[in-house]
Amino acid sequence: MAAPGAPPTETPSTSRSGPPAWVAVLVLGVLLASVILAWTLGPTPQTTSEGASATSTAPTTTASLASPTRISPSYLPPELHEGHGDDVITTSWPAKLGIVTFECAGCTRNTVLKSDGRESLLVNEIGSYRGTRWINVRDGSFTTTFTIKATGPWRLSITDLDQVKWFGSGETVSGEGDDVILLAGGSRRATITNQGEHNFAVHVLSPGAGLDLAVNEIGGYRGTVPLREPALVQITSSGHWTIERL
């Protein structure tokens, strides 16, 4: 959950618009294999706290991450919704992981985006907003509606994982605000920094490690954490952040 007062996000300058087909198939195939293996071997304790405070975590298991239909590369066409002000919209997105980009450049007061899936509160800002979040990342999460609170025109899109921004081996990634990225290298740890004033969280979905809350702090941050690639990473930030892969 992003905290009030965050600036609009910008696309990281080093990003690519989407992975080549072979990268998407390889990475998502590995993720799928890891989930199937987890079901075979039994649950492994993990830590996750989607939208939690800076000092709280909650246990989960690798087996609860996502079913094969959620993470398989189906290459669904993007789904687009546009409107003005408060609204409730229905999505036809299936019960699989999706990437949601929400933008309200003209919003001046509280800007909120909620889903009826397990991710629940996706955006909670004061003023304008642009950022990217994931949905349906865990078993039992099936998003069918979004509730929007806005004071201006807004745009919401949902895309498949083949459209996510990706980065090859060794690249240092930087960006502004909320984002979801794919790290397609072989690193096992990363030095992460943040210059924002509010909640800063980094969730990592990677084979073998499941869904992990790598960072959960308030304000500025610098530290080195485990980050096993390939990995799908969701960043929650009110400012500038970097991920230096080691």
Which of 132, 138, 128 lies closest to 234, judged by CA?
132
Average pLDDT over residues 183-198: 94
Average pLDDT over residues 109-119: 96
**Structure-token pair, residue 84:** 């003005």
∠ Cα 26 29 31 (to 5°): 110
Which of 83, 86, 101, 88 lies closest to 144, judged by CA?
88
* The predicted structure's pLDDT at residue 139: 76
pTM of the model: 0.75
pLDDT-derived band at 37 (thresholds 50, 70, 90) equals very low
Residue-wise pLDDT for 140-178, tens only, equals 789 999 999 999 999 999 999 888 999 998 889 999 999
Residue 153 near residue 82 (C-beta atoms within 8 A):
yes
Question: What is the Cα–Cα distance from 167 to 183, expressed in whole angstroms?
Answer: 5
Query: What are the residue boundaries of the structural domains of the chain, listed by start?
Result: 21-245
Phi and psi dihedrals of 29, rounded to 5? -65, -40
**Structure-token pair, residue 6:** 């965050």
Average pLDDT over residues 46-71: 37
| pLDDT beyond 80 at 196 | yes
Least confident of 59-73, 130-144, 150-164, 175-189: 59-73
**Structure-token pair, residue 22:** 């072979």
Question: What is the Cα–Cα distance from 175 to 235, expressed in whole angstroms?
Answer: 9
Q: For residue 186, what are the contacts with CB-CB under 8 A and spacing of at least 6?
A: 169, 229
| pLDDT beyond 90 at 64 | no
Give the strand pairing for 179-183 and 231-236: antiparallel
| pLDDT beyond 90 at 240 | yes
Which of 65, 69, 73 lies closest to 38, judged by CA?
65
Give residue for tokens 């892969």.
245
Residue 146 near residue 91 (C-beta atoms within 8 A):
yes
Question: What is the Cα–Cα distance from 64 to 62, expressed in whole angstroms?
Answer: 5
| pLDDT beyond 70 at 81 | yes
Residue-wise pLDDT for 203-222, tens only, equals 999 877 789 999 999 999 99
29 class by beta-carbon count within 10 Å (0-12 exposed, 13-18 middle, 19+ buried):
middle
| pLDDT beyond 50 at 57 | no
